[in-house]
Structure 1
Amino acid sequence: MTSVAVLVELMRGSTSGGHVKCWERFAESAAGPGGRVPHGPDVDLTVYFLGERERVEELSAHVRFVMLRPVLASSALTSADGAEDVTDLAPHHRRLAALLPRHDVWHLTHSFAYAATAVRRARARPRGGPAPRLVASVHTDVPLLASVYSRYLADRWLHGSRPGAGDFLAARAERLLRRRRDRLLGHCERVLAPTPDGRAELARTLGADRVAPLRRGIDHRRFRPDPAARSRLAREHGVPADRPLVLFAGRLDATKGVPLLAESVRTVLGRGRAAHLVVAGRGAEADALRRALGPDVTLLGNLPQERLARVYAGCDVFAFPSRTETSGNVVAEAMACGLAVLLPEGAHTTEWLTEPGRDGVVVRHDDPTEWADALCALVDRPGLLAAVRHRAAVTARTAHPSWDRVLVEDLLPVWTAGAAPRGGRAPRGTAAGAA
């Protein structure tokens, strides 16, 4: 049985972002009914996250989560509300380095402490010792996000005293992190990416033969239409039930297009339409949303998956102006819950649509007036809104793959290709006793 270590150098919690949730779902699929991978070869899978303390969470006899404490957490560098994901900025993680030799395949998913440790450990193995197989997947455009957060940090630290400092830091951070990412990926025999554009970019650096797709799945048991969700949303959060509800879910910052959405909804309200914005997430733009929309916005903060699914199902439209997503699982989740989705033309999130215009609305320009026009078209025509919502749910059921399918078709072939299992076991029980 091939032993696989997936290295997710992000803090794991109930309200963690899509990168963490992605690997939680893959692990649940790998555990499978009776602890076996459905319709695929068995692997022994350990997903390493960051945590406040070291511990192991067993999902089955052959699947587990291991949380390791960060050496140098990035929490001190968060911009506003601590909304960014916390990672480990250390150049080496000694505890992880001690555990990695138990595994045959080391799967990198980021470009910080865990990834650097894996590459360093692989290069320093004893001569004649078993060589691990390094593979990787790209889930987020970290260099681009770093550029945006650098501007936020410059504003917070310098208070505008040095004009242009934010732009300088942003450009430098993006350039350095892109070089670092590509350098680490260069050590991997296979790199997976979710979008054609992402794969083409990596192929220019790594070669097309080393790049392959990795789709995102959807949990249709968790995300589905729920006729009772609207009244529950009104009862639990005071959201008005007598008007169309527009939902946004994600970090509240410029990378997600939140300022554009706020101005768009304000324009809709200024035209005399009755609508209400519901927001799930935290971030630097939260106060700006409150100032712009006042009583016409409800901010719910970060929500665990189960509660978020009920919020989706209680709303009508999912407006997501972000252009930085590599996949945007929130779009697939919203469609599965029967929401009409509004997306920017050319964004990777539009790949969830099979019939643009019928199972979702694509807005051509990042202009508040155009977004307001698209929202008004749905608000003013209940029949059209109902039709788009219905088609979105149909597309989700018929065209969006399950996590089981993606695991079997995209991941397992990469993990098990030509590998001779070493037979080592990942830690069980308490991680502290597994050294």
Structure 2
Amino acid sequence: MQITVLGAGVIGLTSAYYLSRAGHRVTVIDRHAEVASETSFGNGGQLSYSYVAPLAGPGVLSKLPVWLSRRDSPVRFKPSASPEQWRWCIEFALACTKNRSNLTTRRLLSLSFLSRTLMHELVREESTLDFDFSHSGKLVLHRDAHAMQSAVELLEFQRTLGCEQQALTSDECVSLEPALESVRAEIAGGIYTPSEDTADCHRFCKGLESLLRARGIRFEMNTSIDALRRTTRGRVEIVSGDIALDADQIVVAMGTGAQRLLKPLGLRLPIYPLKGYSLTYQLGPRAIAPKLSVTDFTRKVVYARFGDRLRVAGMADLDGYSLEPDPARVAALRAETASLFPFAATDATAASEWTGLRPATPRGAPIIGPTPYRNLWLNVGHGALGFTLATGSAALLVSWLNDVPDPALTENFRFSL
């Protein structure tokens, strides 16, 4: 089949990769000149297969008043008159129950474990693909004893789902990651997961593009995707400027742009952008930076090492589609880095800044699979987990397109009106 993939971020490119491997002719369309120009550009770099629990959880609503009252809080909400924003918020609040959170976590773990297997296979099979991939392991730090106890209880639950994790004392955390020595007294404990990886999402996407071009995949960059238009027999076509583009099948992998693209077709996707920020530090020869993937649970900031670079990412701003960065949020990330790893980046200006929009669903699960239109498919709504879930999501999509879906996964992520 001739399949057109809309979107050249990590979800669109992995979709194209696995569709091509399945024998399909693939074209990738994107409005930017370069692949991975938006959300995939400054991704946090953590492939966190065991940390996929949704933001919507039983304890989140009680934290929101404190979070929303502080300018440096990990989550910030800027109310607007947009019905889209308020509908998303209501659905998010309804998802903040223990049963719903546990169910979503189970489903996401099944997809993330598939993604881990496929990512490791891809690394072995595509030897020319160089994207700073590392079996780094991940350490989640807790500064509060009560939060650490809750994490231990969650660890026991996640073990029943196949996660291999260890609870560590403060001293054990520092022994495992010596770059934390200066904050030893502030650490209540940590959860260590040896099976987690780190990698540069942007380099991964650029590498996939090179592989795909060499294998005959067409890329139509600098091409606007203005609309999807109904045709006959329950199909749609792509409208770009004055041109209508037809395809046997169309895969929408456009992140936050998918919701507005599909709305005129009568498809309401529960997707809204969560603005995030990242910094990338170039490490000097004497820098003391973490080699592990590290997450500061209290601050909701993640740290990932790419060779001689350190990626720092965090924040979730619910304030619309603007990509305008907030200097206060960037300053907060710099301050967190200087506090946790004071010897990693002594020059506060030596960091490149990035702002991006994560396409989040209220329940935290992506939407993958067919739509009511015969030739229209979705692979969207991955939130902050796009890189982690990319390979599994693409493989799931391909199995559906090839009419051999995995029943253990397909019903969990399919689109429904």
TM-score, scaled to structure 2 = 0.24
- The structure that has the greater radius of gyration is 1
Higher helix share: 1
TM-score scaled by length of structure 1: 0.24
> Between Structure 1 and Structure 2, which shows a larger proportion of strand residues?
2
Greater relative contact order, per chain length (Cα 8 Å cut-off, separation 6+): 2
